[in-house]
Structure 1
Amino acid sequence: MSLFITSLNSGSNGNCYYIGNEDTAVLIDAGISCRETEKRMARLGLSMMKVKAIFISHEHSDHIKGLTVLAKKYRLPVYITNSTLEHGGLKIDERQVISFTPYEPVNIASLTVTAFPKHHDAAEPHSFVVSGNQVTIGVFTDIGVPCEHLVKHFKLCHAAFLEANYDEEMLEKGRYPYFLKNRIRGGKGHLSNRQALELFTTHRPPHMTHLLLSHLSRDNNNPDLVKALFSERAGGTEIVVASRYQETAVYRILPEGQLAEPRQTVLTLF
């Protein structure tokens, strides 16, 4: 009884997260090309034939730019709000488009996906939790502030993709124009390392085994810095930095009370 997760890419150049069990998987966002998605999954031993649906968090290009080709090639249902579909300018066969409603669970075979609203400068942005096999995984990126919705769902997770976008000092002293700095840190942009760490240390459930730090800024963060920051406070949680250049390993997430040996697992037959 477990779920398997990986970040296929995480950053402003593209976001795509895989969550699945032995039979069924979903993708959260499709922000890298279809070809690159296929290549990275193949390197991990993951099959696109297991993917049964794509869920889209919002319409920014780093979350949707591979969607049209991927959905068409594999005839996948796309779960997306009407407003996100419209603002994204997406051309998808209407027979494949399915709208979702916050807090209403969507069943994809043996997986259950639940969306909830978040603070971000998009038309109708959502985060997701994916549950199955007594395991819950959260995908929490592109979040301006850690609101009560986020806290509630973070407490449920056995593993999570959590945004740690920028170091506050690096952003302040960096080359970005003032308006862009304010967009990032203004409450509808992204979570800083400090905000993410506070959420983690204050609300981390005892059964959380893995935290994948996600959507790191290329210019305003440093992977070594943020991993060290979280590792000091990690307790029993394994800290992984999701790359903006390549896929992570596949991690096997087990229900509370069970430990995977080894905890990091690359599947060649999945």
Structure 2
Amino acid sequence: MPLFISSLNSGSNGNCYYIGNEQEAVLIDVGISCRQTETRFRRLGLSLETVKAIFISHEHTDHISGLAQLAGKYKIPVFITVKTLRNSRLLLQGFPVNPFFGNEPVQIGGLRITAFPKHHDAADPHSFMISDQDTNVGVFTDIGLPCERLVHHFSQCHAAFLEANYDDEMLERGRYPYFLKQRIRGGKGHLSNQQALELFIRHKPAYMSHVLLSHLSKDNNNPDLLRELFRPHVDRTELIVASRFEETPVFRISAN
């Protein structure tokens, strides 16, 4: 079965990713307001009534700020780890809240969502693989380093939201204080352009049709620079740089 995907917003100002089949969909994170989410769904021709679950990767504000309002208004079940919920300080009422566990798939209609732990400076951070039969889409952002688990899942993806947060030189020369630079590049922060490219070159399956480079830093990255870095290596994979200001188109992803 094909999957349909879009980045509704991607960056430190808010993250929200849509993955669905023809009957149901899930959101990974809701870091933009309910009104922004509704507006972007409307522009894409999507319906929030098809969203059957929201999965939360970790408790940082740019991943949860719109969660309670959206889930409350549309009565959408939320899947979140116990540690993430405890550290989020969110008051989640009026809709189902379900714990999930790493490496234990959750079935939402025809969608199978598998979370796995990642390196990030949060209480219990996870990445996600969303599958419908043989079609796989990965959501891999806020990653300090490309661990074996990430390599394993990335190498099975027909499409992936892949973090490319910063350019090494821009970060080094930029205005951020030293402690923040070390937090970003210190193994539990974010994935650099070069790290993302190395993962892409070494482990991209031949059948990957789309890669959506995600969570770009406003101050330490440049979309044009990133496109130029990846373009010689994409082969037949469509390259999209997800915006921190607007949604991407909806892309159809299929194993066939």
Shorter-normalised TM range: over 0.9
Rounded Cα–Cα distance in structure 2 between residues aligned with 1:174 and 1:73: 41
Rounded Cα–Cα distance in structure 1 between residues aligned with 2:141 and 2:98: 22
What CA RMSD, in Å, does the superposition of the two structures yield over aligned residues? 0.8
TM-score under structure 2 length normalisation: 0.99
Q: Deviations over 1:158-200 (max 9, x none)?
A: 0000000000000000000000000000000000000000000
Rounded Cα–Cα distance in structure 2 between residues aligned with 1:97 and 1:49: 18
Give the Å deviation of 1:46.
0.5
Contact 1:3 1:133 in 2 (8 A): no
Q: Deviations over 1:213-253 (max 9, x none)?
A: 00000000000110111111101101000000000000001
Identity %, equivalent residues: 66
Rounded Cα–Cα distance in structure 2 between residues aligned with 1:220 and 1:54: 30
Give the Å deviation of 1:134.
2.2
Matching residue of 1:25: 25
Matching residue of 1:266: none
Contact 2:161 2:213 in 1 (8 A): yes
Matching residue of 2:248: 248
Alignment of structure 1 residues 1-270 onto 2, 5 Å:
1-93=1-93, 96-255=96-255, 258=256
Letter in 2 for 1:253: I
Give the Å deviation of 1:95.
5.6
Letter in 1 for 2:109: A
* Aligned residue pairs, count: 256
Contact 1:28 1:56 in 2 (8 A): yes
Instruction: Extract unaligned runs of 5+ from structure 1.
Output: 259-270
Rounded Cα–Cα distance in structure 1 between residues aligned with 2:47 and 2:54: 14
Q: Do the aligned partners of residues 95 and 9 (structure 1) sit closer, same or farther apart at CA in structure 2, a change above 3 Å counting?
A: closer
| SS of match in other structure, 1:221 | coil
Letter in 2 for 1:149: R
Letter in 1 for 2:47: S
Rounded Cα–Cα distance in structure 1 between residues aligned with 2:174 and 2:228: 21
Matching residue of 1:263: none
Contact 1:211 1:240 in 2 (8 A): yes
Rounded Cα–Cα distance in structure 2 between residues aligned with 1:211 and 1:230: 10
Instruction: Extract unaligned runs of 5+ from structure 2.
Output: none
Give the Å deviation of 1:94.
7.5
Rounded Cα–Cα distance in structure 1 between residues aligned with 2:95 and 2:212: 34
Contact 2:71 2:95 in 1 (8 A): no
Contact 2:72 2:95 in 1 (8 A): no
